[in-house]
Structure 1
């Protein structure tokens, strides 16, 4: 993998976040590590209006590409959350983000008017909509993601899938088999390894049981790939090691 395809999700700096360090400072560390793409986490903001503006300015200042992780539901009670989605896209625009990543939530049927509305949001500022498998039974299973994305695309929807390699283990599903199923829809990858298939917790790459190299061989090539797991108190030192495991 080329280094320019590697993304650092700010979850890697969880220890810093717990110390009160803001994401704009984490962006500086990304740059120091030679990584030019950062994925900002919405839940890490304390004052979202001020900090999204700060992130946008910092990204321009140090030439960093921004992606936006929003761990919120696209649908609640079977209704598209129009006002919330508009808010997330506004925040993304403020930061200059290339995408907004959400989870599907409680949907029943995709409506054509919802797709039209979301397409307008995406096209207005050239921001991509992605849905991801989280670690919950409601939103972490491959079949739900496939069904939703197929239905959405059939109505002309512009949407892609973030494939989180590790999260499927929490649903007792095979990341390798799911990669085969979801490969046609995947546009972005989250990478993590886990120590066990029965009671998983994240560990450093190659310290766990996931065949992540084989999975990357199945998924589309040249996609952006984010490291997304806490890297401890010495995150910067550890990340240098983790990044080097990916470069070839």
Structure 2
């Protein structure tokens, strides 16, 4: 059992996104080493980031299967995240990217597999033929397939997600990762996004945003952050929450200590 009892936590499970420990640390040591730190912090799951693999060898089936075994030994479940987009830059469906993400997530035995939405600034293709191909691809996945709002207008606008989910059948198998901070980069209102997209959300990436323009960066929500609390209140309360901001050790707390503190804080919001 982890150091922090999971029985006492809120209904939302807490996932630590691997990058919270630092991209360089993950590439140097591997996901399994830092998954142990996530377990010590009381997390329920870990988000494995494909872009943080040291080499393509880490994405081989046998490597992913071994990582999955190590996570399960730590009593953790996994999200498999790829930077690939579900739709090409011209708005057409990328069936190859979807198939690869599903296959790699299956090797890891991930519960959720996450891609970026992609497409154009106007959105993605929603014609019947495209949706049929998408549904066929989704049916091959045991993991829940989700698409995340990114930091660019292409793949990061409220309207693009709204149009896609409105065109899909209610039980399509596709859901959304709602990143609380990325909307700022795409110049979208996060609260408006939450009000309009909440029915489609199956996973939440939690972070606040500091700075302006190109100098924006992800940070922990402040204690008593009313705007962040209001945003979460408009989203489903029983879906996993991923911590996607850096843990910061200091004079009063170690890296492990800050990780544990942030898990407790995000669970309590």
TM-score (norm 1): 0.88
Q: CA–CA distance in 2 between the matches of 1:70 and 1:19?
A: 15
Alignment partner, residue 159 of structure 1? 174
SS of match in other structure, 2:96: helix
Alignment partner, residue 81 of structure 1? 94
SS of match in other structure, 2:43: coil
Alignment partner, residue 256 of structure 2? 236
Q: Is the 8 A contact 2:111 2:143 kept in 1?
A: yes
User: CA 1:25–1:144 in 2, change beyond 3 Å: closer, same or farther?
Assistant: same
User: CA 1:15–1:70 in 2, change beyond 3 Å: closer, same or farther?
Assistant: closer
Give 1:41 deviation, angstroms: 0.6
In the TM superposition, what are the counterparts of 1:58-97 in structure 2 within 5 Å? 58-76=70-88, 77-97=90-110
Determine which of 206, 216, 240 is the counterpart of 2:222. 206
The Cα offsets for residues 201-220 of structure 1, whole Å up to 9 and x where unpaired, read as: 12222179781111111111
In the TM superposition, what are the counterparts of 1:110-189 in structure 2 within 5 Å? 110-153=126-169, 157-189=172-204
- Are 2:18 and 1:10 aligned? yes
The Cα offsets for residues 77-108 of structure 1, whole Å up to 9 and x where unpaired, read as: 33322222211111101111112111122264
Q: CA–CA distance in 2 between the matches of 1:99 and 1:19?
A: 22
Query: Where do 5+ consecutive residues of structure 1 fail to align?
Result: none
SS of match in other structure, 1:79: coil
Give 1:242 deviation, angstroms: 1.4
TM-score (norm 2): 0.82
Determine which of 46, 52, 55 is the counterpart of 2:67. 55
Alignment partner, residue 105 of structure 1? 118
Q: CA–CA distance in 2 between the matches of 1:22 and 1:131?
A: 25
Per mean C-alpha deviation after superposition, the further-off stretch among 226-235 and 215-224 is: 226-235
Q: CA–CA distance in 2 between the matches of 1:15 and 1:43?
A: 9
Per mean C-alpha deviation after superposition, the further-off stretch among 38-47 and 116-125 is: 116-125
Q: CA–CA distance in 1 between the matches of 2:207 and 2:157?
A: 17
Taking only aligned residues, the RMSD between alpha carbons, in angstroms, comes to 2.5
Q: Which runs of 4+ in 1 moved over 6 A?
A: 207-210
Q: CA–CA distance in 2 between the matches of 1:80 and 1:210?
A: 38
SS of match in other structure, 1:163: strand
What is the number of residues matched between the two proteins? 247
